[in-house]
Amino acid sequence: MVGDGGATYAPQALWSARRESVPVVFVVLDNREYGLLKEQARVQGLTKAAAGRSLPMDLDPPLDFGALAASTGVSSTKVTMSATLGATIRAALQRGEASLIHAGLD
């Protein structure tokens, strides 16, 4: 399970899982922001970077993680309701191959 921000740091893991036939299920929890870094910056009063520019903590435009997975040959499912996430993870695990679940959060 990884945040949308963190998922941008190591997308090659998708390709490796496919290449090595590792049946890992990647769950990307997408709140469209680097939430932890944003909160830290707020607590420390760091709302502006150099020259008055805003710190880029929002992932806007949002990323299409299904398309990212597809580019490595990994299939994906998109879910928005937390109520369906558990069933989606179970189904993905049962398939026995690498896959990605893109979970949009409120």
Q: Are 95 and 21 in contact (CB under 8 A)?
A: no
- Contact with ligand TPP (CB under 6 A) among 3, 18, 63, 74: 3
- Contact with Mg ion (CB under 5 A) among 3, 26, 57, 76: 3
Half-sphere exposure of 22 (CA within 13 A, CB side): 11
Q: How far is the CB of 65 from ligand TPP (least distance, A)?
A: 11
Q: How far is the CB of 94 from ligand TPP (least distance, A)?
A: 27
Question: Does residue 57 bind Mg ion (CB under 5 A)?
Answer: no
Task: Give, in degrees to the nearest 5, the angle at Cα 105 between 45 and 92.
Answer: 135
Question: Hey, which residues between 25 and 84 contact ligand TPP (CB under 6 A)?
Answer: 31, 33-37
Question: Does residue 72 bind Mg ion (CB under 5 A)?
Answer: no
Q: Are 12 and 98 in contact (CB under 8 A)?
A: no
